[in-house]
Amino acid sequence: MNASATDEALSRLLREGRARAEAAGPSHAELWEALCRATEGGKRFRPAMVTAAHEMLGGRHPEAAAAVGAAVELLHTAFVVHDDVIDGDDVRRGRLNVSGTFEAQALAAGVDADRARHFGRTAGILAGDLALTAAVRAVATCRAPQPAVGRLLDLFDSVLHTTAAGELADVRLSLGEPAPLADVLTMEEQKTSVYSFQLPLQAGAILAGAEPPVIERLGKAGRLLGLAFQLSDDLLGVFGDPADTGKSAVGDLREGKQTSLVAHARGTELGARIDGYLGRDLSLAEADQARSLLEQAGSRRFVEQLAADYAATAQRALDQLGIPSTFLSSVTVLVAATARSAA
């Protein structure tokens, strides 16, 4: 199974949705087109994991694997669109996101800033909802054997609950007292690891008819690898170059997010000084000062090493299943590259 198969499956989902959107009217069709643009430019490693797990475990349903891979990618788009609304971000991958696009349209039409902002956020919420529905529908109609479809739907439902819990915990942690690193890692595991890594690996295994112990161990490996990826993303959220990452390098600081970097730094003698830069707008100079303090506290080095440790533990778990090290090479390379781009 190559990437073109999952890309074509995703394109088919979007075409089908476009037809339904156009039937609802031109304004709704415009919303769907904004959602389609939100799917562009991603690395597509989630659907790649679905098809890789399916093939590695001897699966015989390549078309269903491509369809489920497309569903996982659309689920990711839904979470990204909603996450931007929650964070108040208007830019994703170096261009206006769904919310930003509709807010800009309203401003261009002469609408005042508050109402334009509300319009943009409304569009983002609705676009994310549409993507979620389309993803679940794609699983239900993937043409895999019916028992497998039932298990896939149960898996997606469980993952949706866990990811929603992680997203809410992320916002909750930004409201109150500093959280210990263990709580931050649990939140990051729920918010990102489960849907980005556990879900695609287990979905591919289910389609291949793998035994429950194999599915369970793949899920554990996925969570570990997902933590490594999220820790690397925490680094990018502060030290990354927006021109390369397509995301703000001050957003996490501005929102006062309790990332692994912040949780570690608060346990050092520089914690009180770093707190002064969190949860408010920062000038470029202030952002640079915050980054410098995080480096002085050793937080950057700590998170880089923790990410590497999780990735290595995940690979050992896969080795125990007899899965070659090349199985997730593209993803582990991506984790390493993510850390390097923050350097």
Q: Which residues contact 164 (CB under 8 A, 6 or more apart)?
A: none
Q: Do 138 and 237 fall into the same domain? A: no
Q: Do 191 and 53 fall into the same domain? A: yes
Q: What are 174-232's pLDDT values in tens digits?
A: 887 888 999 999 999 999 999 999 999 999 999 999 999 999 999 999 999 999 989 99
Please tell me the number of Cα atoms within 13 Å of 134 on its side-chain side.
34
Residue 93 in any domain: the answer is yes
Residue with tokens 């009180």, as numbered in its chain: 272
342 pLDDT exceeds 60?
no
Q: Do 192 and 91 fall into the same domain? A: no
Q: Do 333 and 223 fall into the same domain? A: yes
> CATH no. for residue 52?
1.10.600.10
- Say how many domains are in the chain: 2
3-state DSSP: the chain helix, strand, coil percent, rounded to 5? Answer: 80, 0, 20
Q: What are 68-110's pLDDT values in tens digits?
A: 999 999 999 999 999 999 989 898 887 999 999 999 999 999 9
Of 312, 16, 289, nearest to 141 by C-alpha is: 16
Q: Quick one: how far is CA 58 from the chain centroid? A: 28
CB atoms within 10 A of CB 337: 12
Average pLDDT, the chain: 90
Decide which of 84, 118, 143 is a domain's last residue.
Answer: 143
The sign one gets for the Cα dihedral 20, 36, 194, 186 is negative
The tokens for 147 are 């028992």
Of 104, 161, 110, 131, nearest to 17 by C-alpha is: 131
DSSP 178: P
CA dist., res. 284 & res. 187, Å (int): 29
Decide which of 93, 119, 143 is a domain's last residue.
Answer: 143
Exposed/middle/buried for 146, CB within 10 Å: 0-12, 13-18, 19+? exposed
CA dist., res. 222 & res. 327, Å (int): 12
Q: Do 202 and 85 fall into the same domain? A: no
Mean pLDDT of 310-315: 89
Residue with tokens 């997730």, as numbered in its chain: 328
Q: Do 185 and 313 fall into the same domain? A: yes
Radius of gyration for the alpha carbons in the chain, expressed in angstroms and rounded:
20
CA dist., res. 59 & res. 52, Å (int): 10
Q: What are 237-290's pLDDT values in tens digits?
A: 899 888 777 667 788 898 888 899 999 999 999 999 999 999 889 998 999 999
Q: What are phi and psi of 255, to 5 degrees?
A: -80, -5
Q: Which residues contact 30 (CB under 8 A, 6 or more apart)?
A: none
Element holding 96 (H helix, E strand): strand 95-96
Percentage of the chain beyond pLDDT 70 is: 92
Residue 317 in any domain: the answer is yes
* Domain carrying residue 71: 1-40+62-143
Residue 173 in any domain: the answer is no
